[in-house]
Amino acid sequence: MMMDSVALKLPSLNSKFVNLSARTPAIRVGCHRFSSSSLPISATVGSEAETVLGSVSLGHLTRPDFPVLHQEINGSKLVYLDNAATSQKPNSVMKSLQNYYETYNSNVHRGIHYLSAKATDEYELARKKVAAFVNASESREIVFTRNATEAINLVAYSWGLTNLKPGDEVILTIAEHHSNIVPWQLVAHKTGAVLKFVDLNENEVPDVQKLKEMISRKTKLVAVHHISNMLASFLPIGDIIQLVHNVGAKVLIDACQSVPHMVVDVQEIDADFLVASSHKMCGPTGIGFLYGKSEILSSMPPFLGGGEMISDVFLDHSTFADPPSRFEAGTPAIGEAIGLGAAVDYLSGIGMQKIHSYEMELGNYLYESLCTVANIHIYGPKPSGSVRRAALCSFNVESIHPTDIATFLDQQHGVAIRSGHHCAQPLHRQLGVNASARASLHFYNTREDVDVFIQALKDTINFFNSFK
């Protein structure tokens, strides 16, 4: 039977998603298996999270706070496993947005009336909450941006154009999100700086030893992720930062996949710059933040010009405000910042260590469960007592395109995962594939979610294999 007949059996499937075996790249099939005895204590069933919560998991305790999770999709109960793309929002975050717009909506700063003063206080309180969340030494080290992408661009155009010159080197890994590659390409083109990329090692993780060997007096910046959004691997950020500082260079950390899931302390790791996105940490879309050391931010010119970022404006020149105002031109995303502050309150109320312990256990359960699926390759490191994986798995199944898998899971089982290149095309090319499927967890997920996903995945594979 030809694959084209899929559309007859499954009318809701668009024909562009089927008959793709001809363009499905050959993949290496394999799964790293491990025993629970090899896992760190925090990643076993008897973890702190399970002990504290007893027989009720953190996922079951928090799910009632997320109304979007309680619905049916295509006739099946929604199982949301696309958290690396964006997280869901608790009631408290949505109520904070509604409260702002209903009771004190006003522009911030400079206004003398009550609504403006109230909005300003709440906006700046959100900055203080974010600063405390990542342990910045002071709130003025937090710059609100539209998202982490804009935060990286801010550093690239303000710090990069000012400090990079021909022959200077910027070190990245091949596993970076496009947002941490493209801005540096643009700046390198303008300045003559050289981009150097760290490849993967045999374990499908960035080769940290090679990265260390690349660092030299020519190095001016190392811009790397904390956790890979595709490989689930952790980089030893503290060690990298120390080595980079030894040659007088700066470090930017893309913490979009770590800040929502674990304790991140910018002073402990001694980061120069760190970026994260609200929408991945249970906050609203449209806002992210840049952490920058105070002395570095103070030395940087404005990124955008306009209101709020000035000190005085004359016809022939302008003077500029101190950070963070210098980098927040125009009316900011006030409600979104307040919503981010509410998300920080929510996460802090649970405890980031508790969240991390629970997600490590659940993530390893996801990995172990995927290993029971035939003809699957899971990308990234093998988890062990010394090697951690974040709570996500990118994978391919032999001879089935990941978009077909994701489409069938959604339309036939109500399971939401992601397919594509995950804004990591260079990484996929090095792995020898064009795309992958990805299931990613957050603390409101449960083992039952994983079980439903695995059974649905096996059903999906059987469906497509029936046409071979």
Active-site residues: which are they?
A: 423
- Please report the sign of the dihedral spanned by the C-alpha atoms of residue 392, residue 349, residue 146, residue 78: positive
Alpha helices per DSSP H over 371-468: 402-413, 425-431, 447-465
Dihedral sign of CA atoms 303, 305, 306, 309 in order: positive
What 3-state DSSP class applies to 254? strand
DSSP states along 167-206? T-EEEEETT--GGGTHHHHHHHHHH--EEEEE-B-TTSSB
Q: Is the dihedral of CA 10, 12, 15, 18 positive or negative?
A: negative
**What whole-number distance in Å separates Cα of residue 368 and Cα of residue 314?**
64
Tokens of 425: 């095309």
What are the strands, taking DSSP E only, across 212-249? Answer: 219-225
Query: Shortest CA distance to 191 belongs to which of 148, 223, 221, 152?
Result: 221
147 near 374, Cβ under 8 Å? no
CA distance readout (Å), 195 to 150, 162, 169, 429: 20, 17, 6, 18
Length of the chain: 468
| Tokens of residue 236, six digits | 């030893």
Q: How many CB atoms lie within 10 A of CB 88?
A: 18
Give the 3-state secondary structure of residue 219.
strand
Q: Which residues contact 459 (CB under 8 A, 6 or more apart)?
A: 412, 413
| 3 state SS of 220 | strand
The DSSP secondary-structure symbol of 420 reads E
